[in-house]
Amino acid sequence: MNKFLKKFLIVLSVLIVTLPVLNLKNVKAATEPDVNASAAMAFDVNTGQIIYSKDPEKKVAIGSITKIITLYLVTKAIKEGKLSESDQLTPTVEQSEMTQSDELTNVRLDVDKAYTVKDLYNAAWIVSSNSAAMMLAQKISGDQASFVKLMRKTLKEWGIKDAEINNASGLNNSDLKKGMYLGKSDAENKLSVNDIAIIVKHVLNKYPEILKTTSKQNFLFPEGSETKTYTSLNLLLNGNRDYQEGYEFDGLKTGTTDQAGDSFVGTLPMGDSRIVTIVMDAGGDDDDQDKRFRATQNLAKYVKDNFTNKKILSKNQEITIAHNKKKYKNENDVYMWLPKDFNENSLSYNVSKTDLGFKTKVNNKTYKLIATNTPSGYLPYPKEEVVIKKIKKVQKSLWHQITEFFENLF
Catalytic site residues? Answer: 64, 67, 128
- Give whole-number Cα distances, 337 to 47, 124, 317, in Å: 10, 33, 19
* Helix, strand counts (H, E) of the chain: 10, 18
By three-state DSSP, how is residue 115 classified? strand
Are the C-beta atoms of 266 and 237 separated by less than 8 Å? no
Burial level of 303, CB count in 10 A (0-12/13-18/19+)?
buried
Are the C-beta atoms of 123 and 107 separated by less than 8 Å? yes
Are the C-beta atoms of 296 and 279 separated by less than 8 Å? yes
Q: Report residue 177: phi and psi, to 5°.
A: -95, 160
Tell me how far the alpha carbon of residue 247 is from its chain's centroid.
18
Question: Per DSSP, what are the bridge partners of residue 330?
Answer: 360
Q: What's the rounded Cα separation, in Å, for the pair 294 and 235? A: 10
H/E stretch holding 337 reads strand 334-339
Question: Per DSSP, what are the bridge partners of residue 358?
Answer: 369
Q: Please provide the size of the chain in residues.
A: 410
Q: What's the rounded Cα separation, in Å, for the pair 367 and 209? A: 30
Q: What is the CA radius of gyration of the chain?
A: 25
Q: What's the rounded Cα separation, in Å, for the pair 283 and 174? A: 25
Q: Enter the DSSP assignment of 382.
A: -
Q: What's the rounded Cα separation, in Å, for the pair 117 and 106? A: 17
Is the Cα dihedral 192, 193, 194, 197 positive or negative?
Answer: positive
Q: What's the rounded Cα separation, in Å, for the pair 61 and 192? A: 9
Q: What's the rounded Cα separation, in Å, for the pair 57 and 190? A: 12
